[in-house]
Amino acid sequence: MHILEAIFLGFVQGLTEFLPVSSSAHLRIVGLFLPDAKDPGAAFTAVTQLGTETAVLIYFWRDITRIIGRWFRSLAGKTVPRNDPDARLGWLVIIGTIPIGIAGILLKDSIETTFRSLWIVAIVLVVFGIVLGVADVLGRKVRRIEHMTFGGGILIGLAQVLALVPGVSRSGATVSMGLALGYTRPAAARFAFLLAVPAVFLSGLYEAATSLGDTGAPFGLADTLIATVVAFVVGFVVIAAFMNYISKRSFLPFVVYRIALGIVLLVLLSLGVIQP
């Protein structure tokens, strides 16, 4: 049964990671309906995200290799000017990752306990659903990713810190900030996905290393690896579909879904149908 549960959770992770609906919240909620009604845990979530971030590496491979190459060459200042857009993106990803790295270390205990309360999950689903909707409607959506400034990159990096709370959504928070700063939907999403790569990989590798041999974890290493592979396959399909979708349409369906899910959770919690 654990293998079947892991496959299902991997599917949920891959399906929701790139959508602005919070994959960690969905894994937390789905855990309620597993046979043992168990929370998959922050470690399981972080490790399975390695699968979805591998999908990002492959999907954006040309962008990533170009950015890394031009960033290294810009350090010497010989073949690439220091203000080159790709070199600047390299710096922005590095700088934008620092806030969540620091917060992740300082708030580790809260991330694994307090922040996983379903009351918090439900509230932030609604609140940040509204934030995403307002940013999508009011954002000017005229700036391309090549126009990303250091100020903008830092602000989006700070927004990524909010993703430590299940329900906020990494892509939801960073895309909302990008839209608020006037970037187009594809530009905001593309930078959000690139920015997530180092943070998610470092977090996932750390959790994988520290959770090895943890007999109290709800899922063992083999189950977690299976879920990670499933998350990769599903995530790759979803990221391609999502990037195509937002180039033509708004985030309204995701806003409505987040608010509706948050309200349903609040009602169920208030009635005592589910426990926080």
pLDDT in tens, 179-215: 999 999 999 999 999 998 898 888 878 777 776 555 5
Q: What pLDDT, on the 0 to 100 scale, is given for residue 39?
A: 66
pLDDT tens digits, residue range 234-261? Answer: 999 999 999 999 988 999 999 999 999 9
Structure confidence at residue 108 (pLDDT): 82
Q: Is the pLDDT of residue 127 over 90?
A: yes
Task: Tell me the pLDDT tens digit for each residue of 26-84.
Answer: 988 888 887 766 667 767 777 888 899 899 999 999 999 999 988 888 877 666 666 78
Confidence of residue 1 (pLDDT cuts 50, 70, 90): low
What is the pLDDT confidence band of residue 125, given thresholds at 50, 70 and 90?
A: very high
Which residue is associated with the tokens 């960690």? 24
* Residues near 215 by beta carbon (within 8 Å), at least 6 away in sequence: none
pLDDT at 213: 56
Asked if 175 and 192 touch (Cβ cutoff 8 Å), the reply is yes
Instruction: Over range 148-175, report the average pLDDT.
Output: 92
Q: Which residue has the tokens 């509204």?
A: 130
- Per-residue pLDDT averaged across 117-146, rounded? 93
Q: At what angle do helices 42-59 and 185-211 cross, to 10 degrees?
A: 130
Share of the chain above pLDDT 90, in %: 52
Average pLDDT over residues 109-134: 91
Q: Which residue has the tokens 């593309």?
A: 190
Counting residues of the chain whose pLDDT is more than 70, the rounded percentage is 92
Across 265-272, average pLDDT: 93
pLDDT tens for 206-219 read 777 776 555 555 66
Angle between helices 252-271 and 118-138 (to 10 degrees): 160
Q: What is the chain's mean pLDDT, rounded?
A: 87
pLDDT score for 229: 93
- Residue 34: the pLDDT is 76
- Mean pLDDT for 159-188 is 93
**Angle (deg, nearest 10), helices 61-76 and 185-211:** 90
Tell me the two tokens of residue 200.
């998610």
pTM of the entire structure?
0.89
239: alpha, beta or left? (left if phi > 0; alpha if psi -120 to 50): alpha
The single-letter DSSP state of residue 81 is: -
Is residue 193 within 8 Å of 171, Cβ to Cβ?
Answer: yes
Q: Is the pLDDT of residue 138 over 70?
A: yes
Taking alpha carbons only, the member of 180, 136, 261, 234 closest to residue 242 is: 234
Q: Where in 52-162 does DSSP place strands (E)?
A: none
